[in-house]
């Protein structure tokens, strides 16, 4: 019998969603994969494609590389481009993605969580100042993931 201090059982599949799948959701996807390995299927998507943009945001690649996560091969995708829609848990990182997640799961037994996450692309200033904003988001997501999923 599980005690109250035990983390909830791991879902079989988790989807992270944000606006363009270039910053917050690929960060969360990579962090959870690093944390849980292949114990859980993890994917990410965005609401729409960002015109002219390919891959993860360069600042995301840089701050994730600092902790051993290679996002150089990340290909942004939308909800409509997901290969599999069978997720046990959808975690939305923006209000817009939360709205779409609710629509997506209306007729399915899926848990939905909303984790409002700051958009680091709004940071201005020097390269270092901007990298620090991305690190703050990375670290906040990592802390939230540890809190939600426990330590593997």
Residue 79: Cβ within 10 Å count: 19
Beta bridge partners of 44: 16
* DSSP character string of 58-105: HHHHHHHHTTT---TT----BGGG-S----SEEEESSHHHHHHHHHHT
CA dihedral 144, 113, 93, 6 (to 10 degrees): 10
Q: Which residues contact 29 (CB under 8 A, 6 or more apart)?
A: 16, 42, 43, 44
Take residue 124 and report the two structure tokens written for it: 């201005």
Per-residue pLDDT of 127-149, as tens digits, reads 999 999 999 999 999 999 999 99
Per-residue pLDDT of 93-125, as tens digits, reads 999 999 988 887 787 888 999 999 999 999 999
Query: Which pTM does this prediction carry?
Result: 0.91
């Amino acid at each position: 019998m599980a005690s109250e201090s035990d983390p909830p059982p791991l879902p079989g599949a988790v989807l992270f969603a944000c606006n363009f799948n270039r910053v917050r959701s690929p960060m969360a996807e990579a962090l959870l994969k690093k944390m849980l390995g292949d114990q859980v299927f993890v994917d990410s998507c965005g609401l729409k494609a960002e015109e002219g943009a390919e891959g993860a945001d360069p600042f995301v690649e840089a701050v994730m590389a600092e902790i051993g996560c290679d996002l150089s091969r990340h290909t942004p995708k939308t909800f409509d481009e997901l290969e599999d829609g069978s997720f046990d848990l959808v975690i939305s990182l923006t209000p817009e993605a939360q709205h779409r997640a609710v629509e997506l799961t209306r007729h399915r037994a899926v848990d939905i969580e909303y984790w409002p996450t700051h958009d680091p692309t709004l940071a201005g200033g020097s390269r270092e100042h901007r990298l620090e904003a991305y690190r703050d988001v990375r670290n906040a997501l990592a802390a939230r993931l540890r809190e939600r999923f426990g330590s593997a």
